[in-house]
């Protein structure tokens, strides 16, 4: 019985699945970047000898623009050292913010209305002889019990 790895490697070698090999090379390229840049890159692709890099946030675009030479040298190193990624060549690099990769909205888990735990206990004794005050204190005891 064949293992899953051998079946997948056979399927990926078929011509109709050559895009899978290219995607694997893209993943390898992203892994060559530092952890900060791995989070910054949403996806990459090569079209007509141009490497397109989509970033997750517009702030990363400027930083990656300053490091174009580093990105190009990483691509050539991947090209020379990995035989399966020989077809990855780019003469220029375009960096853009992907409108299809939305910014993560911070969910406000805390509401603006403060909620406090009831710290009082309803085990106090009533020392008053007045019936109205006793009724009020009993009412307070019930509220304390409900709030716990």
Which CATH fold would you assign to the domain 17-97? GMP Synthetase; Chain A, domain 3 (3.30.300)
Q: What confidence score (pLDDT) does residue 26 get? A: 93
Q: What confidence score (pLDDT) does residue 93 get? A: 93
- pLDDT, mean of residues 37-56: 92
Query: pLDDT of 96-118, one tens digit each?
Result: 998 776 556 666 666 677 777 87
Q: What confidence score (pLDDT) does residue 122 get? A: 83
Considering only residues 106 and 89, tell me which one the structure prediction assigns the higher pLDDT.
89
% of the chain beyond a pLDDT of 70: 93
Tokens of 32: 């060559």
Handedness of CA 40, 12, 80, 49 (dihedral sign): negative
pTM for the whole structure = 0.61
Q: Find out whether 32 and 78 touch, Cβ atoms under 8 Å.
A: yes
For the chain, give every residue range classified as CATH 3.30.300: 17-97
Considering only residues 114 and 127, tell me which one the structure prediction assigns the higher pLDDT.
127
């Amino acid at each position: 019985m064949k293992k899953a790895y051998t079946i997948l490697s056979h399927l990926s070698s078929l011509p109709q699945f050559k895009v899978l090999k290219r995607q694997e090379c893209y993943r390898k390229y992203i892994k060559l970047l530092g952890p900060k840049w791995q989070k910054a890159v949403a996806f990459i692709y090569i079209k007509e000898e141009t490497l397109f890099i989509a970033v997750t946030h517009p702030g990363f675009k400027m930083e990656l623009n300053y490091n174009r030479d580093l990105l190009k040298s990483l691509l050539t190193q991947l090209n020379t050292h990995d035989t399966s990624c020989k077809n990855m060549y780019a003469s220029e690099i375009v960096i853009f913010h992907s409108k299809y990769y939305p910014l993560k909205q911070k969910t406000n888990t805390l509401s603006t209305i403060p909620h406090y735990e009831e710290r009082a206990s309803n085990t106090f004794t009533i020392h008053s002889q007045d019936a109205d005050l006793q009724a009020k204190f009993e009412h307070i005891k019930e509220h304390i019990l409900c709030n716990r």
